[in-house]
């Protein structure tokens, strides 16, 4: 016979105002199996928990029902209390008489009756609760970090410095991401590469970081603590081990003029090239689309002949390697919204009225960074791409593609107000007699020292800020005519600019949706990866063991990306803190004797947590096929239970018998 203790909480006034708690406690005390029934003002408090522990001991309870708030709040708390007093934590049930009762009803009588009904259901269920044990999953204490920008670098260093191995996979030939291409960063105006490259070098030299550059994640198998990752190492055509980075090859390459990816098309690079001087690894790569030898299969080959260490191999092929890891951190970053043409999704469209792509002197913010950068295509001189002259009037336009329901994205890209102010300042620092004009809608400068930074651009560096959007840009006699509005003055404004910089929206990096599907991570309609909870779990995802950080989750600046990266690293380190992981045992299980091996469950499981398996005799003779749940992956959603035609699948802690018991208690 069960010995159940029911503890009904007042929750101060929250429950007691609407539900007659004393009456409820008295009523449920009469239920079969209930050994004792108490009520108390605050069950979750220390005295409240002490009460439960005390009753468990004095009454010899073997199951507990707490009638109070939502299990989301305190189920863990009460389970711990029960466990410490000797009751299996999975023989603890909570009846939600707050969110489901006192908070949504007004009438005291009916609410009291409903509370009693809810508790009766929980009592009926707890009678059938099995004393489950947590599932233990072994953990491979290695991490995979996908994306080698500042966020990925931070996460990799944190995990590696904690003593664990990290596999860092980066799609480009060098790590560094977008930050490596910036000139100076707000609000300190630190030289971007100066603060980043020491970190990049640290990654490159770290004994516990295995760096795969010019590589992508091909396939992901396994589950939390036990992932098998297949990585595709794209053919670089250069052996980075023997290569010394001397530069003879790229200096002799005859195909000199390809638009440089690093300079966003403003500069040129040869077919064999080093992405930028501070690249890590500091080794060149051959662009197979433009290299004569690779395209035609013969001819040229000058670089190979010149190379003293014989590091060039035109017969290089992509290679697949596998790595075993326990946790994955995704830090794939962002790219800019394509302003001048159709988008991948076909829902947004470009801004023909701004002339981007038509006029050389209309550039994006990242392109302007390259103009400002000392290592950029103009050596840090701000000049017009069309004629190389110094612009005396530069117009900066905010929110191009952001905050736009009609042709762009509805969200705010967060960083543009700050970097536009930065651009205005840096431009003025370089062109002393220049005038910056900024067209904005609002100024978003909420970070530390951010507001002061923007005011500096206006008050000290003389940037002229017009509150209004720009309708159209066109070129007359070499000048860009910018037709905007000054809504504060209540008039249209026309500026004749020499250069226009468009602050384009931030969107997730291309290919992120494919990667997310491989990892079972959700993404929103824009491709931003979904966090478990926007407030309380910003770096975890619905896929156990997979964490996210940086701009792949949402637009954000460098300080936030770095902070999130460390947060994601800490989540991985929590996992690595033990040789084994404990998982909640409320997972599905399949009665293999009964299973008809129709595999409907495998097809419907959203977590790919069910496998086909063979049932064998002890001597290895085949008996039958069956479906088998991987308790390491199962999230307990119950879909398999719903679809199983032979009723072989059931959910521990929420068995069909328990559900029916609850329903019968109610009827």
Partner 1 sequence: MDIGYYPGCALHGTSNDYEQSARACLEALGVGLKEVNDWICCGATAAHSINHRLSVALPARNLALAERDGFGEVLAPCPMCSMELLKASDLMKSDGKLRQEMGRIVELDFNGRTEVLNLIQAFQKVGLDSIKAAVKRPLEGLKAACYYGCLLTRPPETLRFDDCERPSSMEAVVAALGGSAVEWNYKTECCGAGMTLANTDIVLELSHKILTNAAAHGANCVVVACPMCHVNLDMKQADIEKRYGVRHGMTIYYLSDLVGRALGLSDEALGIDRHFVYGG
Partner 2 sequence: MTAVATAVATDDLRVAECYQCGKCTAGCPVAGRMDRMPNQIVRMVQTGDTEGAMRAGAIWECVSCQTCTTRCPKTVDCAGVMDLLRQLSAERPSPEQARHHTILFQHAFLNNIRRHGRLNELELVGMFKAAVVTKDLDVPFLFKDALLAPRMMQRGKLKLVGGSVRDRAVVGRIFDRCLRGTDA
The residues of the shown chain that bind partner 1, judged by CB under 8 A, are: 351-353, 358, 474-476, 481
| Residue 55 binds which of partner 2, partner 1, none (CB < 5-8 A, kind-dependent) | none
| Residue 486 binds which of partner 1, partner 2, none (CB < 5-8 A, kind-dependent) | partner 2
User: Which residue's CB is nearer to partner 1, number 473 or number 529?
Assistant: 473
User: Which residue's CB is nearer to partner 2, number 22 or number 442?
Assistant: 442
User: Which residue's CB is nearer to partner 1, number 352 or number 638?
Assistant: 352
User: Which residue's CB is nearer to partner 1, number 315 or number 476?
Assistant: 476
Distance CA 573, CA 481 (A): 55
Q: How buried is 407 (Cβ within 10 angstroms: 0-12 exposed, 13-18 middle, 19+ buried)?
A: middle
Instruction: Report the candidate in 160, 284, 295 with the shortest Cα–Cα distance to residue 214.
Output: 284
Cβ within 8 Å of residue 78, ≥6 positions away: 43, 44, 49, 52, 64, 66, 92, 94
Cβ within 8 Å of residue 582, ≥6 positions away: 134, 135, 136, 137
User: Which residue's CB is nearer to partner 1, number 353 or number 524?
Assistant: 353
Distance CA 630, CA 608 (A): 9
Distance CA 306, CA 301 (A): 9
In the list 328, 470, 501, 568, the residue contacting partner 2 (rule: CB under 8 A) is: 470
| Residue 305 binds which of partner 1, partner 2, none (CB < 5-8 A, kind-dependent) | none
SS3 320: strand
User: Which residues 474-493 are close enough to bind partner 2 by CB under 8 A?
Assistant: 483-487, 490-493
Q: Smallest distance from the beta carbon of 478 to partner 2, in angstroms? A: 22
- Say which DSSP state 528 is in: P
Distance CA 297, CA 219 (A): 30
CB atoms closer than 10 angstroms to residue 550: 31
Q: Smallest distance from the beta carbon of 397 to partner 1, in angstroms? A: 16
In the list 405, 433, 476, 525, the residue contacting partner 2 (rule: CB under 8 A) is: 405
Q: Smallest distance from the beta carbon of 107 to partner 2, in angstroms? A: 37
User: Which residue's CB is nearer to partner 1, number 496 or number 592?
Assistant: 496
Q: Smallest distance from the beta carbon of 407 to partner 2, in angstroms? A: 7
The residues facing 9 across adjacent strands are 40
| Residue 234 binds which of partner 1, partner 2, none (CB < 5-8 A, kind-dependent) | none
| Residue 469 binds which of partner 2, partner 1, none (CB < 5-8 A, kind-dependent) | partner 2
* Per-position b or e across 138-170, b if 16+ CB within 10 A of its CB: ebbbbbbbbbbbbbbbbbbbbbbebebbbbbbb
Q: Does 407 engage in binding with partner 2 (CB under 8 A)?
A: yes
Q: CB–CB of 169/212 below 8 Å?
A: yes
| Per-residue CA distances from 292 to 56, 268, 530 (Å) | 80, 17, 43
- Say which DSSP state 531 is in: P
Q: Smallest distance from the beta carbon of 394 to partner 1, in angstroms? A: 21
SS3 95: strand
Q: Does 471 engage in binding with partner 2 (CB under 8 A)?
A: yes
Q: CB–CB of 146/113 below 8 Å?
A: no
- Say which DSSP state 34 is in: E
Q: Does 108 engage in binding with partner 2 (CB under 8 A)?
A: no
Q: Smallest distance from the beta carbon of 480 to partner 1, in angstroms? A: 11
In the list 38, 252, 412, 441, the residue contacting partner 2 (rule: CB under 8 A) is: 441
- Say which DSSP state 523 is in: B
Q: Smallest distance from the beta carbon of 483 to partner 2, in angstroms? A: 5
The residues facing 217 across adjacent strands are 231
In the list 288, 381, 467, 518, the residue contacting partner 2 (rule: CB under 8 A) is: 467
Distance CA 577, CA 573 (A): 6
Continuous H helices in 396-495: 416-430, 450-459
| Residue 475 binds which of partner 1, partner 2, none (CB < 5-8 A, kind-dependent) | partner 1
Distance CA 434, CA 598 (A): 74
User: Which residue's CB is nearer to partner 1, number 358 or number 517?
Assistant: 358
In the list 353, 452, 514, 656, the residue contacting partner 2 (rule: CB under 8 A) is: 353
φ/ψ region of 176 (left if φ > 0, alpha if ψ in -120 to 50, else beta) reads: left
End-to-end CA separation in angstroms for the chain? 23
Q: CB–CB of 255/292 below 8 Å?
A: yes
| Residue 357 binds which of partner 1, partner 2, none (CB < 5-8 A, kind-dependent) | none
Q: Smallest distance from the beta carbon of 524 to partner 2, in angstroms? A: 20
Tell me which stretch binds partner 2 (CB under 8 A): 419-427, 429-437, 448-456, 461-469. Answer: 461-469
158 Cα distance to chain centroid: 17
Q: Smallest distance from the beta carbon of 164 to partner 1, in angstroms? A: 53
User: Which residue's CB is nearer to partner 2, number 225 or number 408?
Assistant: 408
| Residue 359 binds which of partner 2, partner 1, none (CB < 5-8 A, kind-dependent) | none
Q: Smallest distance from the beta carbon of 500 to partner 2, in angstroms? A: 14
Q: Does 41 engage in binding with partner 2 (CB under 8 A)?
A: no
In the list 333, 468, 538, 632, the residue contacting partner 2 (rule: CB under 8 A) is: 468
Question: Site size for partner 2, by CB under 8 A?
Answer: 24
Q: Does 433 engage in binding with partner 2 (CB under 8 A)?
A: no
| Residue 358 binds which of partner 1, partner 2, none (CB < 5-8 A, kind-dependent) | partner 1
Distance CA 219, CA 143 (A): 15
Instruction: Report the candidate in 400, 392, 336 with the shortest Cα–Cα distance to residue 361.
Output: 392
Distance CA 380, CA 374 (A): 4
Q: Smallest distance from the beta carbon of 479 to partner 1, in angstroms? A: 12
Q: Does 496 engage in binding with partner 2 (CB under 8 A)?
A: no
Q: Which residues bind partner 2 (CB under 8 A)?
A: 353, 399, 403-408, 441, 467-472, 483-487, 490-493
């Amino acid at each position: 016979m069960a010995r159940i203790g029911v503890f009904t909480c007042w929750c101060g006034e929250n429950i007691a105002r609407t539900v007659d708690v004393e009456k409820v406690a008295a009523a449920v005390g009469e239920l079969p199996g209930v050994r004792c029934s108490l009520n108390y003002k605050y069950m979750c408090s220390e005295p409240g928990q002490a009460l439960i522990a005390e009753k468990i001991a004095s009454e010899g309870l073997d199951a507990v029902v707490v009638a109070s708030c939502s299990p989301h709040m305190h189920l863990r708390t009460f389970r711990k209390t029960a466990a410490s007093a000797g009751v299996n934590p999975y023989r603890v049930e909570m009846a939600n008489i707050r969110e489901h009762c006192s908070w949504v009803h007004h009438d005291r009588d009916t609410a009291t009756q409903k509370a009693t009904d809810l508790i009766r259901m929980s009592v009926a269920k707890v009678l059938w609760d099995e004393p489950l044990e947590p599932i233990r999953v072994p953990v491979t204490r290695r991490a995979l970090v996908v994306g080698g920008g500042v966020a990925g670098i931070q996460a990799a260093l944190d995990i590696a410095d904690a003593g664990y191995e990290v596999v860092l996979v980066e799609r480009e030939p060098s790590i560094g991401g977008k930050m490596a291409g910036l000139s100076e960063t707000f609000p300190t105006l630190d030289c971007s590469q100066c603060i980043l490259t020491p970190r990049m070098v640290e990654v490159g030299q770290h004994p516990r970081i295995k760096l795969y550059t010019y590589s992508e994640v091909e396939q992901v198998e396994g589950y939390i603590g036990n992932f098998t990752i297949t990585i595709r190492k794209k053919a670089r055509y250069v052996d980075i081990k023997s290569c010394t980075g001397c530069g003879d090859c790229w200096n002799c390459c005859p195909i000199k003029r390809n638009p440089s990816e690093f300079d966003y098309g403003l500069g040129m690079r040869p077919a064999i090239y080093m992405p930028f001087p501070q690249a890590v690894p500091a080794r060149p790569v051959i662009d197979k689309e433009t290299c004569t030898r690779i395209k035609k299969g013969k001819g040229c080959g000058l670089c190979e002949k010149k190379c003293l260490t014989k590091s060039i191999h035109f017969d290089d092929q992509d290679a697949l390697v596998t790595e075993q890891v326990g946790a994955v951190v995704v830090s794939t970053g962002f790219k800019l919204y394509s302003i001048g043409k159709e988008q991948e999704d076909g829902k947004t469209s470009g801004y023909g009225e701004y002339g981007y792509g038509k006029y050389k002197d209309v550039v994006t913010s990242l392109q302007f960074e390259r103009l400002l950068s000392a290592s950029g295509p103009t050596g840090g001189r701000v000049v017009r791409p069309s004629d190389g002259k110094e612009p005396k009037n530069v117009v900066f336009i905010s929110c191009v593609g952001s905050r736009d329901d009609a042709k762009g994205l509805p969200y705010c890209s967060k960083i543009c107000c700050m970097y536009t102010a930065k651009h205005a300042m840096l431009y003025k620092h370089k062109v002393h007699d220049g005038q910056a004009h900024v067209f904005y809608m609002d100024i978003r400068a909420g970070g530390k020292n951010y507001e002061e930074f923007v005011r500096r651009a206006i008050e000290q560096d003389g940037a002229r800020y017009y509150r209004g959007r720009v309708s159209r840009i066109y070129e007359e006699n070499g000048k860009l005519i910018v037709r905007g509005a000054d809504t504060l003055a209540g008039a249209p404004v026309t500026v004749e600019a020499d250069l226009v910089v468009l602050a384009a929206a931030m969107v997730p990096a291309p290919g992120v949706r494919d990667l997310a599907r491989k990892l079972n991570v959700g993404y929103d309609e824009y491709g931003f990866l979904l966090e478990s909870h926007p407030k309380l779990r910003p770096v975890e995802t619905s896929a156990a063991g997979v964490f996210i950080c940086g701009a792949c989750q949402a637009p954000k600046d460098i300080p936030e990306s770095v902070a999130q990266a460390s947060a994601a690293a800490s989540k991985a380190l929590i996992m690595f803190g033990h040789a084994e992981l404990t998982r909640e045992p409320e997972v599905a299980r399949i009665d293999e004797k009964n299973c008809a091996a129709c595999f409907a469950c495998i097809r419907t499981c959203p977590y790919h947590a069910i496998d086909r398996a063979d049932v064998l005799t002890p001597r290895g003779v085949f008996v039958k096929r069956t479906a088998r749940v991987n308790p390491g992956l199962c999230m307990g959603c119950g879909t398999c239970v719903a679809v199983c035609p032979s009723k072989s699948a059931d959910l521990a802690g929420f068995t069909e018998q328990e559900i029916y018991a609850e329903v019968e208690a109610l009827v």
